[in-house]
């Protein structure tokens, strides 16, 4: 019923995109994805509805569509996960193609106004670094990251730290390190993984910076975050920090 209701919405190119994606529905894959993305009662993805479409297929379908904010918003409002993925793919492409700084800012503001619909880890990870993260390169004011990091919303906190991936690739680590320190005590495992992932990326660029951070903080870090962060280190260093954690 949810799928049918969404498909009956009549709006510009968005309806055609939904219909095309619906043609790739895979019932067997749907069951797998609903388990993988924790859609059960009390889990972080509760209520999310899947069509069972692989990301490469969604990306290929999206490559044919240019939608405005109104159409993207309607995709993001859908209870169907892959429609929200599609909306974010198109928003990312819109940002990447836009050269005007004022228009890029509008795209960032639009994304930030829809964080309640960027409500699973894959949605955050495919959009936050490529929109907010890239926008912040060269900007002195990065207070939005710290505002998001203080949010009661898990996904906004994840947006904050994962956005720094683009900064890391640009050789900037200070925001990642500061946010990681602030989020060390987060109670959510998905945040432990996100923090550990970003720290690992710092280490890939400059292991010395990561080692200095871990020397000061590893004893306070959740085990998951620590394991993620040291994943690329040699065995001797990994064992050292795991012992230090104990």
* CATH classification of the domain holding 147: 1.25.10.90
- Do 56 and 168 have their domain in common? no
Domain count, the chain: 2
- Retrieve residue 65's tokens: 């569509």
- Do 89 and 23 have their domain in common? yes
Q: Tens of pLDDT along 20-73?
A: 999 999 999 999 999 999 888 889 988 899 999 999 999 999 998 999 999 999
* Spatial distance between the Cα atoms of 153 and 48, rounded to a whole number of angstroms: 17
- Do 60 and 161 have their domain in common? no
**Residue 114 belongs to some domain of the structure:** no
Q: Tens of pLDDT along 137-171?
A: 999 999 999 999 999 999 999 999 999 999 999 99
Q: At what angle do helices 189-205 and 207-217 cross, to 10 degrees?
A: 140
- Do 27 and 82 have their domain in common? yes
- Do 182 and 79 have their domain in common? no
Residue 124's nearest CA partner among 190, 186, 26, 40 is: 190
Residue 217's nearest CA partner among 175, 179, 184 is: 184
Residue 95 has a pLDDT of 98
**Residue 111 belongs to some domain of the structure:** no
**Domain span holding position 9:** 1-100
Residue 209 has a pLDDT of 98
What is the pTM for the complete model shown? 0.91
- Do 93 and 137 have their domain in common? no
Query: Average of pLDDT values for 79-96?
Result: 97
Pair 80, 119: CB distance under 8 Å:
no
* Spatial distance between the Cα atoms of 231 and 227, rounded to a whole number of angstroms: 6
- Do 77 and 140 have their domain in common? no
Q: How far from 219 is each of 126, 149, 241, CA to CA, in Å?
A: 31, 21, 9
Q: Is the pLDDT of residue 239 over 70?
A: yes
Residue 175 three-state SS: helix
pLDDT band at 119 (very low <50, low <70, confident <90, very high): very high
- Asked which of 83, 100, 117 is the last residue of a domain, the reply is 100
Nearest 5°: the CA angle 128, 200, 192 is: 65
- Do 148 and 49 have their domain in common? no
Pair 156, 148: CB distance under 8 Å:
yes
Q: Say which residue, 113 or 15, is predicted with more confidence.
A: 113
């Amino acid at each position: 019923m949810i799928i049918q209701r969404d498909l009956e919405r009549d709006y510009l190119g968005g309806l055609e995109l939904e219909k095309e994606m619906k043609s790739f529905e895979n019932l067997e894959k749907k069951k797998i994805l609903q388990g993988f993305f924790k859609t059960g009662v009390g889990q972080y993805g509760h209520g999310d509805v899947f069509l069972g479409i692989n990301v490469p297929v969604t990306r290929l379908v999206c490559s044919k569509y240019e939608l405005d904010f109104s159409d993207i918003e309607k995709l993001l409002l859908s209870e169907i996960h892959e429609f929200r993925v599609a909306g974010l793919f198109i928003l990312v492409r819109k940002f990447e193609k836009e050269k005007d700084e004022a228009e890029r800012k509008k795209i960032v503001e639009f994304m930030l106004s829809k964080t309640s619909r960027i409500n699973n880890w894959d949605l955050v990870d495919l959009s936050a670094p490529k929109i907010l993260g890239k926008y912040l390169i060269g900007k002195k004011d990065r207070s939005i990251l710290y505002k998001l990091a203080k949010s009661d919303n898990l996904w906004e906190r994840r947006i904050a730290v994962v956005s720094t991936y683009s900064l890391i690739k640009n050789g900037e680590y200070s925001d990642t390190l500061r946010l990681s320190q602030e989020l060390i005590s987060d109670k959510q495992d998905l945040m432990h993984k996100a923090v550990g992932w970003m720290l690992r990326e710092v280490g890939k660029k400059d292991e010395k910076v990561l080692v200095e951070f871990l020397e000061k903080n590893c004893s306070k870090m959740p085990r998951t975050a620590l394991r993620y962060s040291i994943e690329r280190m040699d065995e001797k260093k990994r064992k050292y920090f795991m012992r230090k954690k104990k």
